[in-house]
Amino acid sequence: MIKTLGGRKLGVTGSHRRAMLRNMATSLFLHEKVMTTITKAKELRPFAEKIITHAVKKRQALVRRDIQDKKVFRKLLDVLGPRYAERPGGYTRIVRLGARPGDNAQRGIISLVT
């Protein structure tokens, strides 16, 4: 029996999903919070936390693989990495905002914990 290996499809192809997660992670690290749907936020959380863990451990190649923006790359290694060096995980928080008026999708804010 074939089991689902995890992760949400979000109604898009795999390449679109990877690009969307990279773009959302870049925005999250640049602005330190992003408003999106709860489903996308739940999918972004483990992706972003792995990138922060790589930044804390100074694994530049693994951070660069997912973050293409030079400004955000430098911020990860110089600011966010040292900020979370003593924290054993749990770098993000999801706050629910309620339903979106147009299509009743559940919205939320995913933000970095300070």
What are the domain boundaries of the chain? 14-112
Band of pLDDT at residue 63, cut at 50, 70 and 90:
very high
Give residue 3's pLDDT. 79
Mean pLDDT of all residues in the chain? 95
The rounded Cα 100 to chain-centroid distance in angstroms is 21
| One CATH from 3.30.565.10, 3.40.309.10, 3.90.1030.10, 3.40.50.300 for 14-112 | 3.90.1030.10
Lowest average pLDDT, out of 3-7, 30-34, 95-99, 101-105, goes to 3-7
Q: What is the mean pLDDT of residues 75-81?
A: 97
Report the C-alpha gap between 72 and 86 in whole angstroms: 21
- Predicted TM-score of the model (pTM): 0.92
Residue length, the chain? 114
What pLDDT does residue 88 have?
95
Higher pLDDT pick, 53 / 1: 53
Quick one: average pLDDT of 32-51? 97
Two tokens, residue 91: 């770098």
